[in-house]
């Protein structure tokens, strides 16, 4: 049950911090158990600030067997299964990779991250600065260091370095080569790996993940996983009743009026090819409860220059994507920024969402007022 004294988890992407500090946690662990039980290599595309990193962090805690963090949650039963055994976890956060110093900065920061993981696992890596060589060795050595216990590999924001350079084709090619050399090590070390979970904003063919890991299950548009990231209105009403009451009182409106305005401003994201589940952006919603004021919180974290340049160089306008018709398979095949349609790219970035389904097609539109205001700014 919700405790009025629980603090909001706004901006916190670490599962352990939310649980140990007693912050409000909306239990999504049923999705993780479902994935582990049925999928070995999994990919999830969601926009930024939508809970991908928290999901990865939760997988980390789950496979590491930190039972105390899951008391009262759906996954508690999973951890208490007689056959459950913890696994060593390799977690690469590609959003941490340095992007301001060119390809050498990317290579150095990625190598540093891999070496840091090796230190935590107590394994020795070869004397090399090439991330692909280090990653290859990290997987194998971690397996042997843990008495041949298969390794879990989690890669968060796998496409972040590439997306940063979508408007610089030469640099994008260099980044793709570097990342591809690293990611193919998962295929090469398949015998040492128990489970792989990858997040990003889109499926980019150049990065080599989906061509080498040809058994990857993309759950991005599967209805059964539509609510895995983000918040449904039912979850908001159930987990944040005190925040809803306090905000309604401050704004001097009824709870029903508040929910209607919130729906208009923050709801509307849909990652469900049956158009059944509508979601609130969690960062915007939690920020709204913290400030008790309607504002464009999501875009305040950065309507990036990448997007601005993308729109300008392609002479795109905001209005041209209202009720935009696209084929139903538009998000299924890997593409690249220079080959993916603008509407496909904007959808994956979270600026457009599925609105209606027609025969063999979808209608795209802006999910809510916040995103529309942000795009028009």
User: Can you say whether residue 252 is alpha, beta or left, with left for phi > 0 and alpha for psi between -120 and 50 degrees?
Assistant: left
Question: Which tokens is 83 given?
Answer: 């056959």
Instruction: Provide the whole-model pTM.
Output: 0.92
Per-residue pLDDT averaged across 18-38, rounded? 97
What is the chain's mean pLDDT, rounded? Answer: 89
What CATH number is given for 15-220 in this structure?
Answer: 3.40.50.300
Report d(CA 230, CA 224) in Å as an integer: 14
pLDDT tens-digit series, residues 323-362: 888 887 776 655 566 667 888 778 877 789 988 888 788 8
Alpha-carbon distance values, 317 to 28, 343, 348 (Å): 37, 11, 17
Q: What 3-state class would DSSP assign to 32? A: helix
State pLDDT tens for residues 31-63.
999 999 999 999 998 988 899 999 999 999 999
Lowest pLDDT segment from 42-51, 61-70, 76-85, 119-128: 42-51
**Above 90 in pLDDT, residue 136?**
yes
Q: List the beta bridge partners of residue 152.
A: 89, 195
CATH 3.40.50.300 in the chain is located at 15-220
Q: Which has the closest alpha carbon to 321: 372, 277, 356?
A: 372
> Do 370 and 363 touch, CB atoms closer than 8 A?
no
How far does the chain reach from its first CA to its final CA, in angstroms? 40
| Residue pair 224/199 in contact by the 8 Å Cβ criterion | no
On the question of pLDDT at 213 being above 80, the answer is: no
């Amino acid at each position: 049950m919700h405790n009025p004294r629980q603090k909001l988890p706004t901006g916190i992407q670490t599962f352990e911090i939310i649980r140990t500090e007693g912050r409000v946690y909306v239990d999504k662990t049923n999705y993780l158990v479902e994935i582990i039980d049925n999928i070995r290599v999994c990919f999830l595309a969601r926009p930024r600030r939508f809970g991908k990193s928290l999901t990865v962090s939760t997988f980390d805690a789950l496979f590491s067997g930190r039972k105390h963090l899951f008391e009262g949650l759906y996954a508690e039963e999973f951890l208490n299964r007689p056959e459950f055994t913890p696994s060593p976890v390799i977690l690469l956060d590609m959003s941490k990779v340095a992007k301001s110093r060119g390809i050498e900065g990317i290579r150095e920061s990625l190598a540093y991250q891999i070496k840091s993981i090796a230190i935590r696992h107590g394994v020795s890596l070869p004397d090399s600065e090439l991330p692909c060589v280090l990653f290859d060795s990290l997987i194998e050595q971690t397996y042997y260091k843990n008495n041949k216990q298969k390794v879990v590999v989690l890669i968060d924001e796998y496409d972040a370095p590439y997306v940063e350079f979508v408007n610089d084709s030469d640099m994008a090619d260099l980044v793709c080569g570097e990342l591809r050399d690293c990611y193919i090590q998962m295929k090469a070390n398949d015998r040492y790996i128990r489970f792989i979970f990858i997040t990003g904003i889109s499926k980019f063919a150049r990065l080599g993940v989906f061509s080498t890991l040809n058994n990857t299950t993309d759950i991005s548009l599967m209805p059964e996983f539509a609510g895995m990231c983000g918040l449904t209105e039912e979850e908001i009403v159930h987990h944040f009743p005190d925040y809803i009451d306090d905000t309604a009182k401050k704004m001097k409106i009824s709870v029903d009026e508040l929910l209607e305005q919130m729906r208009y401003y923050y709801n509307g994201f849909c990652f469900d090819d049956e158009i059944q589940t509508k979601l609130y952006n969690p960062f915007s919603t939690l920020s709204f409860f913290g400030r008790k004021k309607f504002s464009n919180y999501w875009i305040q974290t950065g309507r990036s220059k990448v997007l601005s340049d993308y729109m300008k160089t392609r002479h795109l306008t905001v209005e041209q994507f209202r009720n935009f018709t696209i084929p139903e398979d538009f998000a299924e095949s890997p593409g690249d920024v220079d080959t993916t349609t603008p509407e496909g790219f904007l959808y994956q970035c979270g600026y457009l969402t599925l609105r209606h389904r027609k025969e063999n097609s979808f209608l795209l539109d802006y999910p809510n007022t916040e995103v529309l205001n942000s795009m028009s700014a």
